[in-house]
Structures are given as C-alpha cells and as structure tokens.
Copies of this chain bind each other. A is one copy, B any other.
C-alpha cells in the first residue's frame, strides 16, 4: 500500500491557477513583494533565497539574475523603505498646533509607537538590526534610519529643543523605548513585566510614554 515513489510533491505555494506570463518587470515586482511579505511574516531567521523564490512562485535563479542575489534584494527592500515610511506615518500635525518642543515630541512618540505597532515589516527589520551586524542588515538599517530622520526633520519645523537638555540623547532613549516595547510585545505580549495585549494595556503604555516626554520637555 505504500506509495511507490517517495517524492510526492506538494504544491505549497502559488496554486498555478494563473499562468506565468513572460514579463520581467512583473516578475521582479513579485519577487520583491514576496521578499517583503516573507520578511514581515516569518522574520529574518528563515529569510533566504529558496524561501523567497518559493513565495514568489518562480525559480531562485531569477533572483540571482534580476537582483544579483539576496544582498541585492535586501538593498531593493531598503530602497523601498523611504516611500514605505512616508505612506504609513502622517506628515502633518493632524490639525493640532504644536506650540512647544514637548508638544512635538509627544506627538512624534505616539505616532511612531502606533506606526511601528502596525507595521510588521518594520518590526522585523528592527529585530534584525539588533541581532546581526552583517553588511546586508547595515544597509537596511541605514535606509530605515534615514527615512525616520527625514520624517522627524519634516515634522520638527522650526521648533527647537529647550536649552540644557541633550535632546539627541534623550530622544534616542525615547525612541529606543518605543522600539523595544513594541518588539517585545509583538513576540510575547509583554515587556519587563508589563502586559501588552489589548487596547487598554496600550493606553497605559502611551500614558507612560507621554509622562516621560512631558517630564523631560515639560
């Protein structure tokens, strides 16, 4: 009764309903999309040539041809990141008047918190950043950093931080806190003993964040 030949292939991906059309641009896009999807959903751990090719429903050879391998593909993701960020974080003040630097930082913090919570790809990239120091991830990290810095710069306008406070260091701390708390919660629904499951939990976190910002910038 045993199956004669062991190698029964299971069609894991791309049920083949749609026939592959010969179209390089579309294939490139499919590969890039698959890469982003895979990274966002599975994380960087199982991110590889074979997995991306499977996800894109094409042969891995095409990834070498069109992107020059994984490195090039990751770089392409990085290039996308700019517009990606711009699409997901509002650029205006949301109809509020930001009178003080404290107003600004409070708003930036909360926006960044929500944006990161809602963006699995960005989360995976941040997790990657703190886990590995390869050239690949460094490029990605720089792209992300640039996009973020640009956003902050645009929002800042002409507001200047108060004297006597090392705003750069303090802000780095604040953004670090946001990133870590979001990463930790995405993986285990808690961070340093603080449960972060439902909306009420996150309200507490947001309140704490505001308190910290206001404590420093008034």
Question: Measuring CB to CB, which residues of chain A are less than 8 angstroms from any residue of chain B?
Answer: 43-45, 127-133, 138, 141, 145, 148-149, 165-166, 168-181, 183-184, 187-188, 191-194, 204-205, 207-209, 211-212, 214-216
Classify the interface of chain A: helix, strand, loop or mixed. Answer: helix
Give bound CA distance, A141 to B191, whole Å.
10
* Chain B residue contacts of A208, Cβ below 8 A: 166, 169-170, 172-173
Taking a contact as CB atoms under 8 Å apart, the answer to whether A180 and B170 are in contact is no
By a CB distance below 8 angstroms, the chain B residues around A128 are 131
Known A-B contacts A176-B177, A180-B180; A205 and B169 likewise in contact (beta carbons under 8 Å): yes
- 8 Å CB contact of A187 from B130, B149, B205: B130
In the assembled complex, the Cα of A73 lies from the Cα of B211 at a distance in Å of: 42
In the complex, what distance in Å separates the CA atom of A215 from the CA atom of B214? 8
Cβ–Cβ contact A131 & B204, under 8 A: no
Minimum CB–CB distance for A189 against chain B, Å? 10
Q: Which residue of B lies closest to A128 (CB)?
A: B131
Could you list 16 further interchain pairs (A-B, Cβ under 8 angstroms) beyond the known A43-B131, A170-B208, A172-B208?
A: A43-B132, A44-B131, A45-B45, A45-B131, A127-B127, A127-B131, A132-B187, A141-B188, A145-B192, A166-B208, A166-B211, A171-B192, A173-B181, A176-B184, A176-B192, A212-B216
